């Protein structure tokens, strides 16, 4: 019975730690990924401008349209990423809720099993004593 309690407790704790890690990642991810994506886009724009030998110190007529185009592309990418992330976030929230519910059901089933085992052992000891 102790082994049953120990293994079920370990499984429940493991499941709760996994879910906690996922929740923390869901909180941190929206702040880190757009920032990283912004840096990547910024460096790509800089690399493209350098490839066409457009320098910010020597202003030419194509610099302003390139900056405006880069800004618009970045805003479109941000909007697409936001929609993608929201859909993915909703789906992941549902999966986490299901996993938490399943671990709670397992915990309740284990506690009911422990009560049944203890009452049956108690009855067996009473029958032996009679």
pLDDT tens for each residue of the chain, 130 residues long: 667 667 777 877 888 888 888 888 887 887 787 778 888 888 888 888 888 877 665 566 776 788 788 888 888 888 888 888 888 888 888 888 888 888 888 888 888 888 888 788 777 777 666 6
Return d(Cα 125, Cα 119) in angstroms, integer. 10
What is the 3-class SS of the chain, one letter each residue?
CHHHHHHHHHHHHHHHHHHHHHHHHHHHHHHHHHHHHHHHHHHHHHHHHHHCCCCCCCCCCCHHHHHHHHHHHHHHHHHHHHHHHHHHHHHHHHHHHHHHHHHHHHHHHHHHHHHHHHHHHHHHHHHHHC
Residues 6+ positions from 29 with CB-CB distance below 8 Å? 85
Domain parsing of the chain, residue ranges: 2-129
pTM: 0.38
Return d(Cα 51, Cα 19) in angstroms, integer. 46
Return d(Cα 130, Cα 111) in angstroms, integer. 29
């Amino acid at each position: 019975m102790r082994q049953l309690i120990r293994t079920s407790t370990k499984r429940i704790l493991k499941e709760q730690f996994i879910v906690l890690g996922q929740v923390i990642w869901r909180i941190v991810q929206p702040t880190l990924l757009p920032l990283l994506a912004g840096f990547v886009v910024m460096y790509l724009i800089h690399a493209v401008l350098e490839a066409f030998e457009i320098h910010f110190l020597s202003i030419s007529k194509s610099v302003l349209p390139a900056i405006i185009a880069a800004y618009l592309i970045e805003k479109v990418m941000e909007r697409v990423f936001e929609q993608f992330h929201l859909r993915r976030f909703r789906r992941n929230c549902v999966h986490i809720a299901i996993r938490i519910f399943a671990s709670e059901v397992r915990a309740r089933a284990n506690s009911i099993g422990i009560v049944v085992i203890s009452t049956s052992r108690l009855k067996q000891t009473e029958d032996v004593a009679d």
